[in-house]
Amino acid sequence: MASISETLVREFFEFRGFLVRQLRKYVGRERGEERQVDLLVYNPHPELGADPLPMELKASDVNRIAQGEVVVKGWHSETMSPSLLAGLDDLDKALGLEVFRSVSQGLNVAHGPVTRILVVPDLPTSAAARAGVFDALKKRGVDCVLTFRTVLSDLISHIECNRNYQRADVIQVIRILKVYGYLKEDAQLEFFQKRPRRGRSQAVERIGMPPPDDKGES
């Protein structure tokens, strides 16, 4: 069964016109889970571009990809920082990057280059820290990095309030949030900006609830 993170990434690529194949993962009694990429994506009409793809993809950059192998890491409470990578005993195994060193699965190289994409929760804000992350990932076969911040922002912009997405539960939830004003088009940039953590009283005040009465609490 696909994780919620994989489903979001799949919907992101499909909204941009890609054909997406989600590989089944088989678990053996002795060998454990067979390592595979999470998604194979194919673009029937890739956009032409003279410049090489950037290491960190924007949503519009994805349109230039002819086909790709995608590994999704949904560590939504973590930032993909050099210190995080350094703390992993086996980086390839932890990120599932060993699959990028095998022959492309189910993609025809005659249709265009195969781009190997790693989807991560977030990247460090420091340019030096980002460069360190990109260097470590390039050495392990990663061509491009896509953040969930980009994936979610693009999905929200594509989902229409007056359209029913009954066959896609995740997309339907996002649509309902937009219908009731919890996700607004003009507030997307603010919504996805990093903010300092708020105290409890500030949080409840922001959503229109009275602060809790602390009387009687020990």
Q: How many CA atoms lie within 13 A of 128 on its CB side?
A: 1
Is 122 a domain residue?
Answer: yes
The CATH number linked to 109 is 3.40.1350
Which residue ranges of the chain lie beneath pLDDT 50?
A: 1, 27-34, 103, 187-192, 197, 200-209, 215-218
Helices 169-179 + 4-15 axis angle, to 10: 80
Those residues with Cβ within 8 angstroms of residue 75's Cβ, 6 or more apart along the chain or in another chain: 120, 121
Q: Strands, DSSP E only, in 141-214?
A: 144-147
In a domain, 118, yes or no: yes
The C-alpha atoms of residue 151 and residue 62 are separated, in whole angstroms, by 11
Could you tell me if residue 206 is inside a domain?
A: no
For 92-113, the pLDDT digits (tens) are: 665 656 665 554 556 666 677 8
Q: How many domains does the chain have?
A: 1
- pTM of the predicted model as reported, rounded to 2 decimal places: 0.74
So what's the pLDDT on residue 186? 54
Nearest residue to 58 (alpha-carbon basis) of 130, 132, 144, 136: 144
